[in-house]
């Protein structure tokens, strides 16, 4: 078990960051969220660069430290980050779906075990998780919110919402 956890931590740190130069993830996630809002009769969100920077920094912090929380030790708490955006704000955080499969093959007395780790981490993966969670889905569908910030680092994603 310890070896598997160490391997998972190494994988989390090895997955490259998605930077501002890679806008495909953010644009795809925004499109999914806006389609979901439109289906529910709610107007679209627009990307806010300041909020996206905050979301990216939060995702990077979670990836770097291995912690998964809205308020991380040593980081500005969400309420303070959100106050800079004005008005009402909310945050969704998520981790990519990680699947493992173990296969053991033996030839005589020699056995080999292969562990395959698959990381999804697609915009559809994060969106699906949030859509199927009441609190996260409520944030995505809140008609008060008109702006969004999106960040991704390793297996961690953050979406910040504000009016």
73-80 long-range Cβ contacts below 8 angstroms, 24+ apart: none
How high is the pLDDT of residue 13?
41
How high is the pLDDT of residue 6?
38
Asked if pLDDT for residue 18 goes beyond 50, the answer is no
91: confidence class by pLDDT, cuts 50, 70, 90: very high
Angle, helices 24-39/134-141, rounded to nearest 10 degrees: 90
**Average pLDDT of the chain, as a whole number:** 83
Give the span between the Cα atoms of 32 and 44, in whole angstroms.
Answer: 11
Edge-to-edge strands of the sheet including 156-162?
46-47, 147-153, 156-162, 89-95
Q: How many helices (H) and strands (E) does the chain have?
A: 6, 6
For residue range 36-85, list pLDDT tens digits in order: 999 999 999 999 999 999 999 999 999 999 989 988 788 788 888 888 88
For residue range 113-141, list pLDDT tens digits in order: 777 666 678 899 999 999 999 999 999 99
- Report DSSP state, residue 56: H
How high is the pLDDT of residue 5?
38
């Amino acid at each position: 078990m310890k070896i598997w956890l160490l391997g998972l931590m190494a994988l989390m740190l090895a997955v490259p960051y998605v930077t501002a130069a890679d806008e495909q993830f953010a644009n795809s996630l925004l499109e999914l969220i806006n389609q979901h809002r439109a289906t529910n009769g709610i107007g679209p969100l627009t990307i806010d660069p300041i909020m996206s920077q905050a979301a990216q920094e939060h995702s990077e912090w979670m990836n770097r430290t291995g912690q998964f929380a809205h308020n991380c030790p040593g980081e500005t708490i969400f309420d303070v980050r959100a106050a800079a955006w004005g008005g009402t704000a909310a945050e969704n955080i998520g981790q990519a779906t990680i699947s493992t499969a173990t296969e053991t093959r033996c030839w005589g007395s020699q056995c080999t075990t292969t562990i395959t780790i698959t990381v999804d981490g697609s915009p559809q993966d994060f969106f699906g998780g949030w859509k199927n969670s009441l609190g996260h889905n409520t944030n995505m569908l809140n008609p008060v919110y008109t702006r969004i910030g999106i960040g991704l680092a390793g297996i961690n994603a953050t979406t910040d919402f504000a009016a």
